[in-house]
Amino acid sequence: MKNIKWMFNESLPMEMHKARIVQKINLLEPKKRLEAIKEAGFNTFLLKNHDVFLDMLTDSGVNAMSDKQQAAMLQADDSYAGSETFFRLEAAIQKMFGMKFFLPAHQGRACEHIISKALVNKGEAVLMNYHFTTSKAHVVLEGGFVEELITDEGLNLNSTCQFKGNVDIDKLKDRIEKLGSKNIAFVRMEAGTNLIGGQPFSLENFEKVSKICKSNDIPLVLDASLLSDNLHFIKTREENCKNMSINEITLKLGALSDIVYFSARKLGSARGGVICTSSENLFKKMQGFIPLFEGFLTYGGMSVREMEAIAVGLEETMDEDVISQGPIFIEFMVKELLKRGIPVVTPAGGLGCHLNAMKFLEHLPQTEYPAGALAAALFIVSGARGMERGTISEQRDENGVEPLANMELLRLALPRRVFTVSHIMFVVDRLEWLFKNRHLIGGLEWSEEPEILRFFFGKLKAKGDWPEKLLENFEKDFGDSL
């Protein structure tokens, strides 16, 4: 963001854009919100968007698009083979990452499917700074296994470390030595490490990882889905990068990687998936899977209109004013929550704001799903929808035993360029009230628990009548206010 000082002693995040297309949102009355969350089985994934006021579930496919992206969609070329749209997107990717070859796929997990199919053999390891749900699943599906090499500081919910997404270099060297480089399919670095709070890696760390991979002949794969936030943090937090442009940093990352892939539902602010590489050998290994699983090589399952929007979105990602919006709004929200003593993951990262539900609801055991209960309670008092990232998001093992998650987080995603300061302050206000009344929030238990991906469509119920009591107290304090 441009350096803008205020006359009074406080600074607010500033939007470097204005709204020209808007979507009306509804704030239901509190009683209706309670009904809606009950109907949804206390699972925010099952709420209807009509009943949601501020949708902070995810940043996937819901970032605001620019006027230029919308305009570009009109020139989409539907030709099956040789489509001009393909070449425009290819050129945008080459300019951004400096990589010659581009393969299209329908979204991020499809890229992971293709990369794992091409590179992972049974029994092989994939080393990562940290896993993402779908990236791990595709490695395991091919018979491989995942090891995480995040620094200890990365798992510390309240740290001053500016790059919690870094790989522990000693652990990396040690694992390569113990496993043997032949048994390692690839090393995967995730930008803006999603599941630990949108935390970045540094360019310095990435350079070290790349060097080690090269000398051991192991491909380095960059998951760039959340790269825009990570680029902002490299630029603003890393001394050696202060004078580099965003594109220079991105080109450097491209030069250090063997494969870059991303979900264009996040990076590029449209909907799709991209794999790129400079290696003809790797390109050829992956190429055949695209027409088999995704679609012809010119679109890979994406709509050509989306591809046009991605091309423009990627170009816009090289603009600091565009990519700083998310992190600056998140930092503002984190600061406001800290002022009120509300437990939140620090330092502020990308993607969203992550509340520490285990600390917020100290009285609840993890087996009663504090992060899920907090998500439901927040919806009842505000109509804002977050995402549980805790034990509900885990899967039972083959004996039916439920592993407790490392962290119980309530993630409040801030899709890019969507919300205003008043939206954020409204959620902060309701969270402050909830924190003061946290003893009213009780636990959850399953009523319908699917065997796979239970967090997406499983249903829970409240233990006791705490949601009704919560509503009663809310109405006592807020009267007839929504």
Just list the catalytic residues.
80, 132-133, 223, 266, 389, 455
Smallest distance, ligand PLP to C-beta of residue 113, A: 9
Q: For residue 194, what are its two tokens?
A: 């999603």
Smallest distance, ligand PLP to C-beta of residue 108, A: 2
Residue ranges that bind ligand PLP, judged by CB under 6 A:
60, 107-109, 132, 134-135, 190, 194, 223, 225-226, 263, 265-266, 273
Smallest distance, ligand PLP to C-beta of residue 190, A: 5
* Spacing of C-alpha 83 from chain mean position: 31
Going by DSSP bridges, is the β-strand pair 387-389/384-385 parallel, antiparallel, or unpaired? unpaired
Compute CA distances 131 → 150, 154, 239, 394, 441, whole Å.
10, 13, 28, 13, 31
Q: Which residue is nearest to ligand PLP (CB)?
A: 108
Residue closer to ligand PLP, measured from CB, 190 or 258: 190
SS3 content of the chain, % helix, strand, coil (to 5): 45, 15, 40
Of residues 388, 40, 51, 350, the one with CA closest to residue 198: 350
Of residues 345, 354, 376, the one with CA closest to residue 441: 376
Going by DSSP bridges, is the β-strand pair 101-105/220-223 parallel, antiparallel, or unpaired? unpaired
Q: For residue 311, what are its two tokens?
A: 């091309």
Residue closer to ligand PLP, measured from CB, 66 or 263: 263
- Reduce the secondary structure of 279-345 to three states and give it as a string: CHHHHHHHHCHHHHHCCCCCCCCCCHHHHHHHHHHHHHHCCHHHHCHHHHHHHHHHHHHHHCCCCEC
Residue closer to ligand PLP, measured from CB, 195 or 380: 195
Smallest distance, ligand PLP to C-beta of residue 60, A: 5
Report the C-alpha gap between 201 and 222 in whole angstroms: 11
Residue closer to ligand PLP, measured from CB, 60 or 437: 60
Contact 305, 86 (CB under 8 A): no
Smallest distance, ligand PLP to C-beta of residue 239, A: 26
Residue closer to ligand PLP, measured from CB, 273 or 442: 273
Other C-beta atoms closer than 10 Å to the C-beta of 432 total: 16
Other C-beta atoms closer than 10 Å to the C-beta of 97 total: 27
Residue closer to ligand PLP, measured from CB, 192 or 443: 192
